[in-house]
Every structure is written in structure tokens, then in C-alpha cells.
Amino acid sequence: MTIFAIMAQHMDAVGQGLDYASMGASHAVHSLGAAAAGGHTGQATSDLIILAQNGAPAAPVPGGATADFADRVKNLAPEEQLGWLTTIGRHFIGMFQKGGEVFAGFVTGIIPTLIVLMTAFYAITEMVGEQRVHGLARAAGRIALTRYTVLPVLAMFFLTNPMAYTFGTFLEEKHKPAFYDSAVSFCHPITGLFPHANPGEYFVWGGVLVAIQQLEAAGKLPAGWHVNLAIWYFIVGLVVILLKGIVTEKITQILARREGVTL
């Protein structure tokens, strides 16, 4: 309750008092008229005495309404005194508190999983051997179809972001810009199935995942629907990076000819 609300209540009380006084005066006038007309002076006097007793004010309280008003203001909570300012502040900090809750969920949920995944795939890379992985990368970079699909996937899967871009060393200079465009565009589509590939930006997929799982829990989507979404995210990502790689390669060739640069 704000200070203005308390003042409004006091104004209402004053208005009610004036209404009672008006009713008492009206009753007294009617009683006097009846006494003058009928000659019942004693009865009219008795009625006036009763009205005076009923309308007599109560014993004065030290300080009166002012002291009562001051006491009620002192008893108000700070939130009630500040009103809408407190509401804005509470919702503002609440937004960050909610973010902290989400982060705490990541710390106890996805982050340990990411660490285990990264450790496992680094171990696989070491067991397979870097030379074999590099040989596969060279083979994948020979034609455009695999250069902008298989090679970015291998790079992100085995080396993760940002080390994945080092696979460009196996390509000719004229193919490196297009490969980088493909690889960097695949940083997010791969996180739906293999979050270890880009843990630093997992929030891109994680934000979508939280909303989808809440819809599944509410029965608005079938259970496990987020897995289908992750698969389609991966497939669409492959199509997009292939198109971007081909287009970027053509743009690189045009600019090289325009500038007279031999790649």
C-alpha cells in the first residue's frame, strides 16, 4: 500500500463523517418541524438529545489522525513505499537470476558431458593417428562436393572449433577462403548431434533445446522430437555449407582475376 492509498482512505473516512452529520442535521430539522406542528415539545427535545449523544465525537486521541497517519507510514514496507520503482527493480534483477539458474543447469548437466565427449574424441584421434586423419582430409579436398561437406565435418568433428580451420592447410590457396566459409558455417549445425565440436557456442542450440523439451514435457510435441530436429539441423547445415563453399570459391576466382592475383 502506498502513501497515496492511505491518504485516499482518510479522505473517504472524512466524506463518510460529513454524510453522517448531514443525516443528523436533517433528522433534527424534521423533528423540530414535527414538534412545532403537533406540539410535542418534550418528545422533540428528547429526540434532539439522543441525536446529540449519538453524533458526539469520541474522546480525542493524542496526535489525532496525523499521528495515526504517521504511524501507518512508518509501518509500511520499503517495497510498498517505493511502489512501481521496486517492481521494475525486482523484475530487472530477476532476469539475471533466471540466467544464473540456466547457467547452473549447464554446469551440472551439459558441461560435464562436453568434457567427456572432448576427451573421448581426442583419444580417438590419437588412436587413429594424425597422419591417417590428415590423409583423409587431403582425399576429401580433391573435389568440390567433398571439399565443402566431408572436409568441414571431419575438421569440426576431430579438431573442434577453432582448431578445425587448420585443415585448410591441405588445400590449394584458391580453395582456402571457401573452405573457411564452409567450416565456420558448420560450427552450429553440428552441435545438435556432437556438442563437443563447438562447446563455446553451445548456447545457440541449447536455447532451442530447452524450449523444445519444455514443449515435449507439456505434451505439445512428441517425446524425443528434439532428436529429429537435431538430425535435420545437421542435414540442412550440410546443404548450406556446400552452397556457400561453391559460391565463395567462384567469388574468390572473380576477385583474383580482377586484382590480377594468381592463387
For 164-205, how does the pLDDT look when each residue is reduced to its tens digit (9 = 90+)? 888 888 888 889 999 999 999 999 999 999 888 888 888 888
Could you tell me the pLDDT band of residue 24, with boundaries at 50, 70 and 90? low
Residue-wise pLDDT for 110-131, tens only, equals 677 767 766 776 777 778 776 7
What single string gives the DSSP state of each residue in 85-133?
HHHHHHHHHHHHHHHHHHHHHHHHTHHHHHHHHHHHHHHHHHHH-HHHH
Write down the pLDDT at residue 22.
Answer: 55
Could you tell me the pLDDT band of residue 36, with boundaries at 50, 70 and 90? very low
The CB-based long-range contact list for 164-173 (8 Å cut-off, 24+ gap) reads: 164/197, 167/137, 170/134, 170/137, 170/138, 170/141, 171/141, 171/147, 172/263, 173/263
Q: Does this model's pTM top 0.95?
A: no
pLDDT reading at 47 higher than 50: yes
**pLDDT averaged over every residue in the chain:** 75
Range in 87-101, 176-190, 246-260 the model is least confident about: 87-101
Helices and strands: H and E segment counts in the chain: 12, 0
